[in-house]
Amino acid sequence: MTSNKKSAFITGGSKGIGYATAEALVREGYRVTITSRDQAEIEAAARQLGEGTRGVVCDVREYAAVQSAINGHGEAFGNLNVLFVNAGVGNFAPIQDLSAEDWQAVIDTNLTGAFFTVKAAVPLLEKSQGYVITLSSLAGKNPFAGGGAYNASKFGLNGLSEVMMLDLRPLGIKVSQIMPGSVATHFAGHTPSDQDAWKIQSEDIAQIVIDLLAMPERTLPSRIEVRPAQPPRK
């Protein structure tokens, strides 16, 4: 299938930042594939987003699963213009208490999963002269106690994103990384509430994605740090 209509592929798209970004791209006329490890959640999210949206079960820790999902996107939509690398998990504990399994789950999802996703998508992105946007974190430059696995994954993702920008720029593929501070999402089991009103909202990150895509072709904001404008006073 070939089409002149643009498309996007979003990992971790059933809720939070991924879902809000999918919603924003659908409004812009994109056809979108969203992924999650939870079949019920991803099917429900795709239904909510409406026509032109695909919900695919995919574990980014498994390269074969990522490659299959990317291939399916290409077959369904004929192109890939935007890759939003958003899937992430967080396990938090002091190093002496952090299990090997929890460490591995975070590194495999947040860092290796990002590499797998971009690697699988490069052929389609090169054809479209597309855009890769990785969702990192200010935790990728600001370590905190108990954040060994998460900090390491995001420090690594920041470095990987910069290398991908340098490697893929000659192919005509743009790469940007977004590094938010506190965001009101369901991350790490949190349920957003009125108490999170001061935080960055998922739709705020989605707007940054839309703004990046509207930049002149000659210009590449490669790293974007974003913080709450008025955090609570300590």
CA-CA distance, 102 to 10, in Å (whole number)?
24
Q: Annotated active-site positions, please? A: 150
Domain 7-226 has CATH 3.40.50.720: yes
Residues of the chain with pLDDT under 50: 2
**What pLDDT is attached to residue 63?**
98
Summarize pLDDT for 115-130 with one digit per residue, the tens. 999 999 999 999 999 9
CA-CA distance, 219 to 37, in Å (whole number)?
35
**What pLDDT is attached to residue 189?**
65
**What pLDDT is attached to residue 188?**
62
**What pLDDT is attached to residue 196?**
84
- Return the HEC string of the chain: CCCCCCEEEECCCCCHHHHHHHHHHHHCCCEEEEEECCHHHHHHHHHHHCCCEEEEECCCCCHHHHHHHHHHHHHHHCCCCEEEECCCCCCCCCCCCCCHHHHHHHHHHHHHHHHHHHHHHHHHHHHHCCEEEEECCHHHCCCCCCCHHHHHHHHHHHHHHHHHHHHHHHHCCEEEEEEECCEECCHHHCCCCHHHCCCEEHHHHHHHHHHHHCCCCCCCCCEEEECCCCCCCC
- pTM for the model stands at 0.94
**What pLDDT is attached to residue 79?**
98
Summarize pLDDT for 71-89 with one digit per residue, the tens. 999 999 999 999 999 999 9
Give kind and range of the element (H or E) at residue 224: strand 223-226
**What pLDDT is attached to residue 3?**
59
CA atoms within 13 Å, Cβ hemisphere of 198:
6
Q: Which residues pair with 54 in a beta bridge?
A: 33
Q: How many Cβ atoms are within 10 Å of 121's Cβ, its own excluded? A: 25
Handedness of CA 224, 199, 60, 93 (dihedral sign): positive
